[in-house]
Amino acid sequence: MNRVVHPIEQESYRRLRARLDTSHFPPLTRAVVERVVHSAADLDYATDLVMDEAALEKAYAALHGGAPVVVDVEMVAAGITRRETVCRLRDAVAGPGLTRSAHAIRLAYEQVGPGALWVIGNAPTALEELLTLDAAPALVIGLPVGFVGAVESKAALRESGLPAVSNVSEKGGSAVASAALNALLYHPTSYSEETS
């Protein structure tokens, strides 16, 4: 993807790298860590994030091969500016034992089927619902935020064995979830190039 990087972003990454050594990470992991840290100005994400390079490589290929991108909320979609996304939250309704966010995930899966990249940055119940489906995702970026259910839903994601980006703490949110997807979207096709 051809992308012009603004000088402010370049300087921000220079300062980030001066404070955090990311050189030991494999290329796509490094790209995700740096973009998430950059989006939150939170260096602790470098040790809080959990991902696997091989899974990221497959997800990268799926993303650049045109796999659908599904998001849990419009705020995540707003952060992914160079790719169309699917968000069904406006069509969803809450019901007994089902949050609106969980219903939106069901609706999105009915629309896109297996093989999508799922980006969840808001609702732990959206991530929990995704784990009940046979979605066969290319990747789940599970970074919901909060004190109720966020840690547990992310732990369940890691235990599921699905290809994933998650984190251990309560932290997360729309900005970091979209940043993780953008890292894969913006990363050059040649892994030897430096991520910006």
Active-site option among 6, 24, 38, 187: 38
38 counts as catalytic: yes
Other CB atoms within a 10 A radius of the CB of residue 9 amount to 12
Query: Quick one: tokens of 117?
Result: 């990249």
Phi, psi of 140 (to 5 degrees): -115, 115
Query: Quick one: tokens of 107?
Result: 């609706």
Q: Where are the alpha helices (DSSP H) in 41-149?
A: 45-48, 53-64, 74-79, 100-112, 124-132
Query: Quick one: tokens of 29?
Result: 């992991």
Cite the active site residues: 38
